[in-house]
């Protein structure tokens, strides 16, 4: 088959306008032809990115149960409940976080005050687009503590507290990014009050594309180190888009 | 998470589901128009993701792109098998999917424009003819066939086929250039 025709068919297949018997024939061709499969993969890699603008919606809680049952998996409802605590109903990448108790990040004379509405997972209020990078930081007991997110080309790292985090009065909470080989990059300091977000030195794509984990340590605010001390919170960081 | 899922890690699969289900469900609802159908498709898709996780090639695409393609294909299969139900509107925007979709949903063209902003290809996309952009947007975001797009735009089906063919090629070039 001519490459131009194969490319055209692959594009029509991916977008969905190749229908009926022609679609079935092309699917059979893809099973037999590496070139056809490659053409489809190339189209999917580009075209599917357009789905980034589709608003996220929360499926019913029973859907996971049905999937688990169909696969014969053990129901892990308790873990799902933790995810439910921060799954938004109307936001984009994960849904809205449900506030879990009082968010008191800094104790004593510096109670946390969110003077702005909670930051939605979709950082951009104007576009409401889903976050590309998402990290879930757990405490020492393995319980979710902080949810971090950023748009691919944005510089803002947004944070959502899932449980109270007590920071010593003379310290600041610093967020770190870790690459696969363990190199640490200091991303920024969690604000003491107001919107739980900070500006990074570069875009999320530049800073987080090679990141596999995020961490939070308590450091001396007067002289931030280039390497973290003991990590109080840590967890995986993934790129969804 | 996808790599761990491929190794049979059920906890990782559940995390993958929790992290991605709302986005993927949104894609399915947009195409099929009804939550119930979209959930059926999403269930099939995640079963497929579990079984095929080891076939995911990181060098070919991002995990979400791979999973979105699975969901879209399942949606298109659903449309092929069940047809677009009579109660489902093909209105571009407010009337999508009748009961389950809010009236203030953005149009397909608006979704394309928002995507172009996010993917930083807006300038390039704006050089593409409006009919081509709208045709591609209707096909991509709402799973419309050539005939459905033609009916919606009240245009000859031959013209729609040409618009989509040319629009797809140009949009792909914009996306490839934007990703470079």
Chain A positions touching B10 (Cβ under 8 A) are 73-74, 76
Interface test with B, best of A18, A45, A121, A208 (most B CBs within 10 A): A45
Chain A positions touching B30 (Cβ under 8 A) are 54
Chain B positions touching A20 (Cβ under 8 A) are 80
Q: Where are the alpha helices (DSSP H) in A48-113?
A: 62-71, 77-86
Give the chain B residue whose CA is nearest to the CA of A53.
Answer: B115
C-alpha span between A164 and A103 (Å, rounded):
5
Distances (CA, A) of A178 to A14, A185, A207, A226, B159: 36, 6, 10, 12, 52
Structure tokens at A83: 């995810």
Q: How far is B169 from chain A (nearest CA, A)?
A: 8
C-alpha span between B38 and B27 (Å, rounded):
9
A63 — phi, psi (to 5°)?
-60, -45
Stretch A119-145: mean pLDDT: 66
C-alpha span between B116 and B100 (Å, rounded):
27
Q: Which residues contact B37 (CB under 8 A, 6 or more apart)?
A: B28, B78, B82
N- to C-terminal Cα separation, chain A:
33
**How many beta-carbon pairs under 8 angstroms link A with B?**
183
DSSP letters of B82-114? H---TTSB--SSTTBTGGGS-TTPPPHHHHHHH
C-alpha span between A115 and A125 (Å, rounded):
16
**Chain A 117-146, CB below 8 Å of chain B: which residues?**
127, 129-130, 134
**Of A13-17, A83-87, A126-130, B9-13, which one has max mean pLDDT?**
A13-17
**CB distance A54–B17 less than 8 Å?**
no
Asked if the model's pLDDT at residue A121 lies above 50, the reply is no
* pTM (2 d.p.): 0.58
pLDDT digits (tens, 9 = 90+) for A1-10: 888 999 999 9
C-alpha span between B44 and B39 (Å, rounded):
9
Cβ B69 vs Cβ A48: under 8 Å: yes
Cβ B79 vs Cβ B147: under 8 Å: no
pLDDT for residue A209 = 87
C-alpha span between A75 and A66 (Å, rounded):
10
**CB distance B176–A95 less than 8 Å?**
no
Looking at chain B, the whole-number percentage of residues with pLDDT higher than 70 is 87
This complex has an ipTM of 0.85
pLDDT digits (tens, 9 = 90+) for A203-241: 898 889 888 889 898 888 777 877 787 788 888 888 887
Cβ B109 vs Cβ B134: under 8 Å: yes
Of B80, B118, B146, the CB nearest to A53: B118
Stretch B155-164: mean pLDDT: 96
Asked if the model's pLDDT at residue A192 lies above 70, the reply is yes
Chain B positions touching A153 (Cβ under 8 A) are 118, 120
Stretch A124-135: mean pLDDT: 66
């Amino acid at each position: 088959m001519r490459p131009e025709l194969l490319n055209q068919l692959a594009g029509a297949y991916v977008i969905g306008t190749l229908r009926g018997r022609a679609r079935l024939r092309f699917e059979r061709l893809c099973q037999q032809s590496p070139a056809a499969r490659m053409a489809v993969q190339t189209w999917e890699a580009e075209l599917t990115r357009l789905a980034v603008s589709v608003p996220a919606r929360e499926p019913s809680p029973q859907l996971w149960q049905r999937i688990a049952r169909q696969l014969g998996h053990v129901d892990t409802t308790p873990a799902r409940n933790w995810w439910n605590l921060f799954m938004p109903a109307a936001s984009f990448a994960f849904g809205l976080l449900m506030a879990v108790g009082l968010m008191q990040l800094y104790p004593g004379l510096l109670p946390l005050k969110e003077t702005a509405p909670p930051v939605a997972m979709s950082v951009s209020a104007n576009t409401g687009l889903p976050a590309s990078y998402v990290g879930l930081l757990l405490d020492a007991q393995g319980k979710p503590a902080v949810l971090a997110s950023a748009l691919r080309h944005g510089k803002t790292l947004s944070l959502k507290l899932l449980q109270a985090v007590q920071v010593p009065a003379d310290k600041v909470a610093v967020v770190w990014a870790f690459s696969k080989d363990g190199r640490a990059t200091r991303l920024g300091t969690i604000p003491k009050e107001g919107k739980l977000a900070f500006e990074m030195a570069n875009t999320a794509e530049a800073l987080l594309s090679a990141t596999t984990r995020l961490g939070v340590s308590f450091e001396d605010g007067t002289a931030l180190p280039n390497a973290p001390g003991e990590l109080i919170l840590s967890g995986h960081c993934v790129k969804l888009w | 998470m996808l790599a761990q899922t491929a190794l049979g890690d059920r906890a990782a699969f559940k995390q993958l589901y929790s992290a991605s289900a709302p986005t993927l469900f949104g894609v399915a609802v947009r195409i099929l128009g009804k939550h119930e159908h979209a959930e059926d498709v999403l269930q099939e898709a995640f079963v497929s993701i579990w079984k095929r996780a080891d076939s995911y090639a990181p060098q070919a695409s991002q995990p979400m792109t791979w999973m979105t393609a699975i969901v879209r294909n399942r949606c298109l299969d659903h449309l092929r098998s069940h047809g677009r139900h009579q109660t489902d509107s093909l209105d571009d925007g407010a009337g999508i999917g009748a009961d389950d979709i809010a009236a203030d949903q953005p149009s397909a063209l608006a979704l394309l424009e928002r995507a172009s902003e996010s993917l930083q290809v807006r300038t390039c996309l704006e050089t593409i003819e409006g009919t081509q952009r709208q045709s591609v947007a209707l096909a991509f975001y709402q799973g419309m066939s050539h005939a459905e797009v033609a009916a919606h735009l009240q245009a000859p089906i031959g013209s729609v086929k040409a618009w989509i063919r040319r629009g797809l090629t140009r949009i792909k070039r914009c996306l490839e250039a934007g990703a470079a």
